[in-house]
Amino acid sequence: MKMTPLAVVVGSVLILATIVFVVIILPYVHTSKTVPSEIFRERSDPEAAGRDLYIANGCVYCHSQSIRSIDWGLGAERIAQAGDYVADYPILLGSQRTGPDLSQAGGEHPDDWHWAHFANPRFTRPLSLMPTFAFLGEPRTEELIRYVQSLGFKDADHRMARQDYWKGKAIAAYEAGPDVNVQWLNENIPQGWRDVPNPYPTTEAGLARGHKIYQDFCIGCHGPVGDGMGPAQPWIYPPPLNFTILKNREISGGILYYQIMNGITGTAMPYFKRELESEKIWDVGNYVAVYFINQSDANAEPRGIDAAYEP
Amino acid sequence: MEAKPPFKYPTAIAFCLTSGFWMMVATFYGLLGATELMAPDLSANLGGIVFGRVRPTHVNLVLFGFVTPGLLGAAFYYLPRLLGTRLYSERLGVLTAVVWNGALVAAVATLAMGMTQGREYAELAWSIDVVIVVAFLLVFFNFMMTVKQREEPILYVSVWYVLAGCILTSCTYILGNVIWRPDSGALVGIPDAILLWFYGHNIFGLLLTPLSAGVAYYVIPRATRNPLYSHTLSLLGFWSLIVVYTHIGTHHLLQVPVPTWLKVVAIVDSIAMVIPVMAFLINIWYTAKGKLGEIHADIGAKFVFTGTIMYFFVSIQGSFMALPDVQRVTHFNNWVVAHAHIGVLGFAGMIALGGLYYTIPKMTGRPLFSRFLADFQYWMVLIGMVGFTIVLTIAGLIQGNAWLNGETVYRVLPEIHVYYVVRAGLGLLIFSSAVLGFYNIVRSVWARSGAPS
- Judge: B190–A87 Cβ closer than 8 Å, yes or no: no
Query: Under CATH, what is the fold of the domain A177-293?
Result: Cytochrome Bc1 Complex; Chain D, domain 2 (1.10.760)
Q: Crossing angle of helices A253-262/A278-287, nearest 10°?
A: 120
Considering only the beta carbons, identify the residue of B120, B189, B414 that sits closest to A85: B189
State residue B453's pLDDT score.
45
Nearest CA in chain A to B117: A55
Shortest CA distance to B74 belongs to which of B28, B9, B135?
Answer: B9
The number of residues in chain A equals 311
Question: Is A261 in the B-facing interface, judged by CB distances under 8 Å?
Answer: no
Structural domains in chain B? 10-446 (1.20.210.10)
Question: Which residues in A lie closer than 8 A to residue B172 (C-beta atoms)?
Answer: 16
Query: In which residue ranges of chain A is CATH 1.10.760.10 found?
Result: 45-158, 177-293
Burial class (CB in 10 A: 0-12, 13-18, 19+), A190: exposed
- A62 in reach of chain B (CB within 8 A): yes
Position B158 pLDDT exceeds 80: yes
Q: What are phi and psi of B6, to 5 degrees?
A: -70, -30
Note whether A225 contacts B: Cβ–Cβ < 8 A.
no
3-state SS record for chain B: CCCCCCCCCHHHHHHHHHHHHHHHHHHHHHHHHHHHHHCHHHHCCCHHHCHHHHHHHHHHHHHHHHHHHHHHHHHHHHHHHHHCCCCCCHHHHHHHHHHHHHHHHHHHHHHHCCCCCCCCCCCCCHHHHHHHHHHHHHHHHHHHHHHHCCCCCCCCHHHHHHHHHHHHHHHHHHHHCCCCCCCCCCCCCHHHHHHHHHHHHHHHHHHHHHHHHHHHHHHHHHHHCCCCCCHHHHHHHHHHHHHHHCCCHHHHHCCCCCCHHHHHHHHHHHHHCHHHHHHHHHHHHHHCCCCHHHHHHCHHHHHHHHHHHHHHHHHHHHHHHCCHHHHHHHCCCHHHHHHHHHHHHHHHHHHHHHHHHHHHHHHHCCCCCCHHHHHHHHHHHHHHHHHHHHHHHHHHHHHHHHHHCCCCHHHHHHHHHHHHHHHHHHHHHHHHHHHHHHHHHHHHHHCCCCCCC
Q: Is the pLDDT of residue B4 over 70?
A: no
What does the pLDDT read at residue B1?
37
Mean predicted confidence (pLDDT) in B209-233: 97
Local confidence band at B2 (pLDDT 50, 70, 90 cut-offs): very low
Q: Give tens-digit pLDDT for A41-85.
A: 999 999 999 999 999 999 999 999 999 999 998 889 899 999 999
A289 in Cβ contact with A259 (< 8 Å)? no
| Residue of chain B whose Cα is closest to the Cα of A118 | B45
Give the distance from residue B314's alpha carbon to the nearest chain A alpha carbon, in angstroms: 18
| pLDDT value at residue B385 | 97
Residue B250 is nearest to which of A23, A82, A127, comparing CB atoms?
A23
Closest CB to B55 among A61, A82, A93? A61
Residue B191 has what pLDDT?
Answer: 95
Q: Please say if the pLDDT value at position B451 is more than 70.
A: no
Contacts of B303 (CB under 8 A, 6+ apart): B350, B351, B353, B354, B355, B357, B358, B378
Per-residue pLDDT averaged across B333-359, rounded?
97
On the question of pLDDT at B20 being above 60, the answer is: yes
pLDDT of B154 reads 94
* Phi-psi sector, A268: left (phi>0), alpha (psi -120 to 50), beta: alpha
Assess A68–B contact: CB distance below 8 Å, yes or no.
yes
Residue B166 pLDDT greater than 60, yes or no: yes
Q: Which residue of B has its CA nearest to A68?
A: B255
| Architecture of the domain spanning A45-158 | Orthogonal Bundle (1.10)
Identify from B228, B255, B417 which residue to disrupt to test chain A contact, counting A C-beta atoms within 10 A and taking the largest count: B255
Complex ipTM over 0.85: yes
Extract the residue ranges of chain A whose pLDDT is less than 50: none
Q: Which of B35, B42, B50 has the most A C-beta neighbours within 10 Å, making it the best mutation to test the interface with A? A: B50
Q: Are B120 and B70 in contact (CB under 8 A)?
A: no
Would an 8 Å CB–CB cutoff place A248 in contact with chain B?
no
Evaluate whether B56 touches B108 at the Cβ level (below 8 Å).
no
User: Distance (Å, rounded) from C-alpha B282 to C-alpha B279?
Assistant: 5
- Let me know: does A128 contact B410? Beta carbons within 8 Å: yes
Residue B215's nearest CA partner among B300, B142, B323, B327 is B300
CB contact under 8 A, B410 and A90: no
**Å from B263 to nearest chain A CA?**
10
A176 at B interface, C-beta within 8 A: no
CB nearest A60 (choices: B118, B175, B414): B118
Find chain B residues with C-beta within 8 A of A136's C-beta. 47
Res B392 pLDDT > 80: yes
Phi (first) and psi of residue B131, to 5 degrees: -60, -40
pLDDT digits (tens, 9 = 90+) for B419-433: 999 999 999 999 999
Chain A partners within 8 Å of B167 (Cβ): 9, 12-13
Tell me: cis bond preceding B80? Omega within 30 of 0 counts. Answer: no
Distance CA A42, CA B399 (A): 34
> Hey, are the CB atoms on B50 and A122 less than 8 Å from each other?
no
- The pLDDT-based confidence of B448 (bands split at 50, 70, 90) is low
Q: Does residue A89 sit at the B interface (CB-CB below 8 Å)?
A: yes
How many CB pairs below 8 Å do chains A and B form together?
232
Within 13 A of B238's CA, how many CA atoms are on the CB side? 26
